Structure 1
Amino acid sequence: MSLLRHWLRDAWWIFAGYIVILEAALIAAILYWPKFRDNMPAIAKLVPFDSLQRLMESVEIAGYWPYLAVQQWFKGCSLFGLAAAAFLTSGVVARDADQKTAEFLLSRPISRRRILLTRWLAAAALVIIPVYITSITAIWISPAVDEQVSWSDVLLSSTFMSLFLLMLVTFTAMISAMSSHQLKAGIILIGFILLNFALYLIQEIDEISLFKTVDVWVFMEIQAGNFPWVTSACYVGATIIMLLVALGVYSRRDF
Structure 2
Amino acid sequence: MDRRRPPLAPALPRTARAGPARPGGAALGRPAPARSRPRGAVRGSLRARGSEGASVSLVRQYLRDTLWVAVGYFVLMAVALAAAILYWPDFRDNLPSIVKLLPFDALRELVAGIERFGYWAYFAIQQDFKGCSLFGLAAVALFGSGVVAREADQKTAEFLLSRPVSRTRILLVRFATAAVLVLAPVFLTSLGGMWLSPVVGERLAPGPVLAAAAYLGLFLLMQLAFCVWLSAGSEHQLRAGVILIGIMLFQFALYLVKGVGDWTLYALVDPSRLGPIQAGRFPWREAAGFAAATIGFLLLAIRRFARRDF
Query: Is the shorter-chain TM-score for this pair beyond 0.5, marking a shared fold?
Result: yes
Partners in 1 of 2:150 and 2:117 — Cα distance? 46
Consecutive unaligned residues in structure 2, runs of 5 or more: 1-55
The one of 262, 268, 277 aligned to 1:207: 262
Q: Give the C-alpha shift of residue 108 in structure 1.
A: 2.2
Q: Hey, what does 1:141 align to over in structure 2?
A: 196
Q: Which amino acid aligns with 1:233?
A: A
Q: Which amino acid aligns with 2:62?
A: W
Q: Hey, what does 1:51 align to over in structure 2?
A: 106
The one of 14, 28, 31 aligned to 2:69: 14
Q: Hey, what does 1:126 align to over in structure 2?
A: 181
Consecutive unaligned residues in structure 1, runs of 5 or more: none
SS state at 1:222 partner:
helix
Q: Give the C-alpha shift of residue 62 in structure 1.
A: 2.2
Q: Hey, what does 1:26 align to over in structure 2?
A: 81
Of residues 27-36 and 7-16 in structure 1, the stretch that sits farther from structure 2 once superposed is 7-16
What does 1:175-186 align with in structure 2 at a 5 Å threshold?
Answer: 175-186=230-241
Moved over 4 A (4+): none
SS state at 1:147 partner:
coil
The one of 118, 138, 141 aligned to 1:63: 118
Q: Hey, what does 1:98 align to over in structure 2?
A: 153
Q: Hey, what does 1:243 align to over in structure 2?
A: 298
* TM-score, normalising length: structure 2: 0.81
Q: Which amino acid aligns with 2:185?
A: P
* TM-score, normalising length: structure 1: 0.99
1:77 aligns with 2:159: no
Residue by residue over 1:51-84, the C-alpha shift from the partner in whole angstroms, topping out at 9 and shown as x without a partner, is: 0000111112221111111100000111000000
Residue by residue over 1:24-49, the C-alpha shift from the partner in whole angstroms, topping out at 9 and shown as x without a partner, is: 00000000000000111111111111
Partners in 2 of 1:120 and 1:62 — Cα distance? 36
Q: Give the C-alpha shift of residue 94 in structure 1.
A: 0.3
Q: Give the C-alpha shift of residue 104 in structure 1.
A: 1.8
Residue by residue over 1:173-216, the C-alpha shift from the partner in whole angstroms, topping out at 9 and shown as x without a partner, is: 00000111100000001001001000100000112210000001
Partners in 2 of 1:2 and 1:238 — Cα distance? 29
SS state at 1:110 partner:
coil
Q: Which has the higher contact order (CA 8 A, sep 6+)?
A: 1
Of residues 71-80 and 56-65 in structure 1, the stretch that sits farther from structure 2 once superposed is 56-65
Q: Hey, what does 2:227 align to over in structure 1?
A: 172
SS state at 1:48 partner:
coil
Q: Which amino acid aligns with 1:45?
A: K
Number of equivalent positions? 255
Of residues 54-63 and 71-80 in structure 1, the stretch that sits farther from structure 2 once superposed is 54-63
Partners in 2 of 1:54 and 1:222 — Cα distance? 18
Residue by residue over 1:196-251, the C-alpha shift from the partner in whole angstroms, topping out at 9 and shown as x without a partner, is: 00010000011221000000121111112111000000000000000000000001
Q: Which amino acid aligns with 1:252?
A: R
Q: Hey, what does 2:243 align to over in structure 1?
A: 188
Quote the sequence identity (%).
54
Q: Hey, what does 1:161 align to over in structure 2?
A: 216
